Structure 1
Amino acid sequence: MTTVALILAGGIGSRLYPASRGDRPKQFLPIGGEESLLARTAERAGFADELVVATCPEFVDEVPEHTPEAEVIVEPDRKDTGPALTYATHRIRERYGAESGEEDTDEQLVVVAMPSDHHVADTTAFQETMERGARVAGETGRLVTFGVTPDRPETGYGYIEPGPERQTATGEQFSELARFHEKPDSETANEYVEAGYRWNSGIFAWTPESFLSAAADSPLGALVDRLAAGELEAGFDIVDPVSVDYAVLERVDDAAVVPAEFTWDDLGSWDALERLLPQDANGNVAIGEHLTIDAADNVVASDDKHVSLVGVSGLAVVAYDDRVLVVPKGEAQRVREAVSMLKADDEF
């Protein structure tokens, strides 16, 4: 079996504004570490035989600075994970599949697709889980999701409801995927955790044949047809932005869930930093120079600016370039509302 790690790096990460901007997406930033998020993701992909990064035209020149060993696939336009993964999987099958014409290419090819903006504490456990998921995908032909075991009732993540437990012919354990659940309110999140649901990590594994066959019977079908005809630009022109979960995974009846027991976090918004960085005596976490007086439970982040907080609590205060963001931590997801307005005024 040949495993290809596919990293999605074409987004911007608007909820991490103003650090993340149109010309400086979050995957290129060293948030919560010394290396960029993309470079750290690539390091975790050591379980794979090949490494591929999918990105957009605006970022293609910078990707090799963070992942010099990766092959780069360029999608024509940002249209969410559905079109991006369809095109990348198509290209990977052409490049690494048996039909590529390489005599030593294994007939069994599995793609493990992952975002470029996650935090994983235990690389060894992560890699072992990815290997297990790849084997399940290869042996069963199922589309595989990786469900993280929750350590809290989180309202910022979607959830996966596992179904009956199964195993492959070689004894690999997995569950049927019963249902996806959207981001819940606090009460529902508690119910999900108590019921044994798992966080939807946004990491997947599949054989190209299985995925493209499922995509052909989905809202991505026209794109699959155009890609088969060698009409990439036309395919992206006619497809609407859509997530791969909604377009494909939710529509198949035999998807699988492989449990992920490693510590995981989606670095999607500023409040995530309080789970990753050391706290001071008052629960504040910070990146960059700062001063706090009678301030508690805040998140502070800046580039070369000194930030002072006095008598405030529960805020995210972020200063990058010529921009400053102040938002209650509990409403950090709403940063995208500000970004939408800035984009409309061509100020992003």
Structure 2
Amino acid sequence: MTSKIVPVIMAGGKGTRLWPLSRSAAPKQFIRFLGPKTLYQKTLERVSDPERYEAPIILTNEDFRFLAAEQARELGIELSGIILEPIARNTAPAVAAAAALVRNNFGEDTVMQVLASDHEIDAGEDYFASIDMAVAAARSGKLVTFGIEPTEPATGYGYIEAGEELASGARTVQRFVEKPEKAKAEEMIAAGNYTWNSGMFMFPIAVLVRELEKYAPDVFQFAEQAVLKDESDLDLDFTRLDKETFSQCPDISIDYAVMEKTSEAAVVPSPFTWSDLGSWDAIWKDGEQDDDGNVVAGDATLVDSRNSLVISRDMHVAMQGMEGMAVIASEDAVYVGKLSDSQNVGNIVKLLKAKTETRALAEDHPTSYRPWGGYTSIIKGERFQAKRIFVKPGKKLSLQKHHHRAEHWIVVKGTAEVTVDETVKMLTENQSVYIPLGAVHRLSNPGKITLELIEVQTGSYLGEDDIIRISDDFGRG
């Protein structure tokens, strides 16, 4: 039993609306756009008050498990656990699985807050006043959603029509409205009793489970079984849901499954600043604008340009005579378009995915993160490629070998401990080592600073699946 809120953070999405920085393998919640912290880390901070919250539960998938754990560790925030969804099944099965776990660990009288990991929120007094109102409504037996007070007739959000006021200050839900045309959005804002649907919730577990069993019994039955089944196993700090069972859950959102059907829905009209940051236009609005209305992150020179967004990762961007533009330069791709058209970036991603030669640009990112650090692809040819490897202090890669490639490592920063078959040696800056094809090898960072090296691979096949792991600290096969 706990009197605190149990926060559940949904961090498994693979959206690509912020391409080329956001891709299937590098979603926006884990990306640093304009500041030192990711949206996921900012979400963690909003639930870090131990007087108000239990340690959070993270819902994500296999691809992002170490990234979610590592970004929490960077902030020194302890997690209750990380649930790994074996297959994407929308928000209702995810919420149901979390509810089953929370009921099992904390009791059915617990209040659970469900948060998206990729929203930008001004977590000031108004925000926490809304949280307190939602808790009061939840403890009175209501399934609570947060409705954001509209600032414009946005067509990219769903809306909630509010009814009578409850004792908690929350209001009943009259209906949910799908993303409207602009004229309809203007009408709803003029009416004054409509809010944007934020996708955040406060649920009393007992009521949520009862309503799930009533309106979406298949969702809760299979989600609960996937959590509690013997095959659901604990791996380090990760709990894997049983794939065969979880895959039987219908693919449906919590709004469709429960919130639009239940008589227990309530909405907290929330005046705090909120954005789902679903477009480059939203990133520009959220950023710190200079005197010309420009938002710049990275190396750039702007001349006679106004009201534009420029983000550059590795190259210097020069812009002249532009207004209302977005220029986003990642390591391997550049997007240029009008900010007013940035809601349609998804169409470009679809075109990229449709062609074999460009599919990787939509799905993969040049920089991949691993529990020990990560790597960035520099150049790739038919029988060679070069990567920048970075290894965090005290971490080491798996003991491994390759069937199809040899490797050459050149240390450029820090100290490396290198194992090649029976030989262990220390390398410092400007020193190198050759790893023959088939040799059993391992790379470790025994130092206090991040180890960086250049890896040159040569061979007939250079795929990441040509790794035979013999021993691994992170339980990877």
Q: Fold match, TM over 0.5?
A: yes
Contact 1:143–1:210 (CA under 8 A) maintained in structure 2: yes
Counterpart in 2 of 1:189?
185
Counterpart in 1 of 2:210?
213
Give the 3-state SS of the residue equivalent to 2:25 in structure 1: coil
Counterpart in 2 of 1:49?
54
Q: Cα deviation per residue 1:207-250 (whole Å; 9 max; x = unaligned)?
A: 222222222344x4323112344454234322343222222211
**Cα displacement (A) at 1:122:** 3.3
Matched, 1:204 2:214: no
Counterpart in 1 of 2:37?
35
| Count of paired positions | 333
**Cα displacement (A) at 1:143:** 0.9
Matched, 1:174 2:176: no
Letter of the structure 1 residue corresponding to residue 179 of structure 2: K
Question: After the TM superposition, which residues 270-309 of structure 1 pair with which residues of structure 2 at under 5 Å, given as runs?
Answer: 270-309=280-319
The worse-fitting range, judged by mean Cα deviation, of 124-133 and 52-61 is 124-133
Distance of 1:250 and 1:175 partners within structure 2: 15
Q: Which runs of 5+ in 1 are unaligned?
A: 99-107
Structure with higher helix content: 1
Letter of the structure 2 residue corresponding to residue 212 of structure 1: V
**Cα displacement (A) at 1:310:** 2.2
**Cα displacement (A) at 1:297:** 2.2
Could you tell me the percent identity over the aligned residues? 35
Matched, 1:134 2:135: yes
Counterpart in 2 of 1:163?
163
Give the TM-score taking structure 2 as reference length.
0.66
Distance of 1:233 and 1:334 partners within structure 2: 34
Counterpart in 2 of 1:12?
14
CA change 1:110–1:305 in 2 (3 A) is: same
Counterpart in 1 of 2:143?
143
CA change 1:189–1:214 in 2 (3 A) is: same
Counterpart in 2 of 1:91?
101
Distance of 1:285 and 1:227 partners within structure 2: 43
Contact 2:60–2:82 (CA under 8 A) maintained in structure 1: yes
Letter of the structure 1 residue corresponding to residue 170 of structure 2: F
CA change 1:222–1:342 in 2 (3 A) is: farther
Letter of the structure 2 residue corresponding to residue 200 of structure 1: N
Structure ID, larger Rg: 2
Letter of the structure 1 residue corresponding to residue 307 of structure 2: D
Distance of 1:328 and 1:228 partners within structure 2: 46
Distance of 2:219 and 2:92 partners within structure 1: 10
Contact 1:27–1:117 (CA under 8 A) maintained in structure 2: yes
Structure with higher strand content: 2
Contact 2:46–2:123 (CA under 8 A) maintained in structure 1: no
Give the TM-score taking structure 1 as reference length.
0.89
CA change 1:17–1:292 in 2 (3 A) is: same
Give the 3-state SS of the residue equivalent to 1:14 in structure 2: coil
**Cα displacement (A) at 1:153:** 2.1
**Cα displacement (A) at 1:341:** 3.6
CA change 1:338–1:247 in 2 (3 A) is: farther
**Cα displacement (A) at 1:281:** 3.1
Give the 3-state SS of the residue equivalent to 1:5 in structure 2: strand
Q: Cα deviation per residue 1:135-162 (whole Å; 9 max; x = unaligned)?
A: 21122x2210011112222222221110
CA change 1:210–1:234 in 2 (3 A) is: farther
Distance of 1:250 and 1:112 partners within structure 2: 18
Distance of 1:159 and 1:313 partners within structure 2: 31
Give the 3-state SS of the residue equivalent to 1:32 in structure 2: coil
Counterpart in 2 of 1:58?
63
